[in-house]
Amino acid sequence: MPILVMKFGGTSVADLDRIRNAAEKVRTEVDRGYDVIVIVSAMSGKTNELVGWVNETSPLFDAREYDAVVSSGENVTAGLMALTLQEMDVPARSWQGWQVPLLTTSAHSAARIEDIPRHNIDQKFAEGMKVAVVAGFQGLSPEGRITTLGRGGSDTTAVAFAAAFDAERCDIYTDVNGVYTTDPRITSKARKLDRIAFEEMLELASLGAKVLQTRSVELAMRFKVRLRVLSSFEDSTPNSGTLVCDEEEIMESKVVSGVAYSRDEAKITLVTVEDRPGIAAAIFGPLAEAGVNVDMIVQNISEKDYDDHPGAVTDMTFSCPYDQVARAEKAILDAKSRGQIEFSDLVVDKEVCKISVVGIGMRSHAGVAARMFAALKAENINIKVISTSEIKISVLIDRKYMELAVQALHDEFELEKSS
């Protein structure tokens, strides 16, 4: 039998009615001829409740105990899902991480999957079981303790199972019906994509399109697992949702697939920094230690000459999340007071956002950047920082122009039309 992996997130299993709804979708796939591995999250809210208890009990908690507590939410859903399927006469049983076993490293709360031996589940499929319901987000350490996989762990569990069992596809059921060319709340012209390449999905995920966690997409790309994102709350056909797949499966891709944004950014500029080898490390080392997520970094070459700073100087600009500005400023001023870096001024702009266009088609099409900048200029939007990768161009602009910029770029690249 071909194997299908289906993953249901917290909102898709929030109560018994929704679990029943999800189970109906599983039965549909069994009826289509699949042996199914279902990965479930905790009922929504449950994990937060458990995390809250742990934090209140022990602010600097033992991660092994955290994992033992927090993993229990998924176990409840797995058992209830198996029971619901049995009520529908679908042969099913639940598996906790240690029962599979899903073997991980010992890095509690952020463990990495090492191996998923197929034997136990394969044997049950051979005996007539049609659905293995697996508690997501959890595994077993070499020491025999329960681990959890960290943020996005259930998506990652699903992809890892799909890879281990050579699944035909890994369907991620969520509360949106696919990946869009941009946020539909910003422009009604936003269009659901039928297919998107792994690389594009990765850029979109890291840019704040919160449909899939980066880690699960990376894993899917590595093992060429075809991922489908679709809604738990709509009837699904074999073509529902968005398929995240290898570039080769996408016949004719557009130059740009989507426009992403990130609202709460800040821009920090260090003015007249000494331009010498090692200066970047001297600045970004302390920021990393302070836990600041530095995103874009731009170094403007300048050749100003000051009386007290003869020689080459430069301006260094970087962006980080809005709410990390205070921490970033402190790290930099501390480094300055320790004499590690020198600069004349620290300029903070908290009123910026990031807009990105993403597309694997960019690789073979010149001029995408020029079109993007022209479209923004036509709306009189000033670009503050530019950063590019092979399949992405990002700019920082004033936050107040965010919606306007997204709409303008969506129009410019004609994303409302299917390719």
Chain residues that interact with a copy of itself, rule: CB under 8 A: 16, 19, 50, 53-54, 56-58, 61-62, 64-66, 68-69, 72-73, 75-76, 78-80, 82-84, 86-87, 93-94, 96, 98-99, 144-146
Contact 396, 353 (CB under 8 A): yes
Residues 384, 167 contacting (CB under 8 angstroms): no
Rounded CA separation 390/412 (Å): 20
Is 211 flagged in the annotation as binding?
yes
Per the CB < 8 A criterion, the answer to whether 271 and 343 are in contact is: yes
Q: What does the alpha-carbon distance between residue 362 and residue 156 come to, in Å, rounded to a whole number?
A: 28
Residue 101: is the preceding peptide bond cis (ω within 30°)? Answer: yes
Asked whether residue 66 is marked as a ligand-binding residue, the answer is no
- The owner of tokens 């394969």 is 122
* 354 marked among binding-site residues: no
Q: 144 vs 310, which CB is nearer to a copy of itself?
A: 144
10 labelled binding-site residue: yes
Q: Least CB distance from residue 133 to a copy of itself, whole Å?
A: 9
- What is the gyration radius of the CA atoms in the chain, in angstroms? 24
Q: What minimum distance in Å lies between the beta carbon of 81 and a copy of itself? A: 9
Residue spans of alpha helices (H) in 234-324: 279-289
Least Å distance, CB 318 to a copy of itself, is 38
Question: Strand 195-197 and strand 146-148: pairing?
Answer: unpaired
CB of 89 to a copy of itself, least distance (A): 12
CB-CB contact of 25 with 236 (8 Å)? yes
180 is in an annotated binding site: yes
Nearest residue (CB) to a copy of itself, 56 versus 307:
56
Closer residue to a copy of itself (CB): 71 or 156: 71
- Cα 393 to chain centroid, rounded: 18
Question: Residue with structure tokens 């987000």?
Answer: 137
- Does the annotation flag 7 for ligand binding? yes
The distance of closest approach from Cβ of residue 20 to a copy of itself in the complex, given in angstroms and rounded to an integer, is 8
CA distances from 204 to 165, 182, 193 (A): 27, 10, 13
94 vs 272, which CB is nearer to a copy of itself? 94
Q: Which is nearer to a copy of itself, 50 or 271 (CB)?
A: 50
**Cα distance between residue 79 and residue 92, in whole Å:** 10
The least distance separating a copy of itself from the CB of residue 122, rounded to whole angstroms, comes to 15
- Closest to a copy of itself by CB, 111 vs 256, is 111
Nearer to a copy of itself, 133 or 415 (CB): 133
Q: Is 210 annotated as a binding residue?
A: yes
Longest dimension (CA), the chain: 84
* Residue 286 Cβ vs a copy of itself, minimum distance, rounded to whole Å: 31
**Pick 47 or 240: Cβ nearer a copy of itself:** 47
Strand order in the sheet with 385-389: 297-302, 313-321, 258-274, 345-358, 392-398, 385-389
Is 9 annotated to bind ligand?
yes
What's the CA gap between 102 and 116, in Å, rounded?
A: 5
Integer Cα distance of 390 and 361 in angstroms: 10
Output the smallest distance, CB 128 to a copy of itself, in A: 15
304 is in an annotated binding site: no
Annotated binding-site ranges: 7-10, 47, 74, 174-175, 180, 185, 210-211
Binding site per annotation, positions for substrate: 47, 74
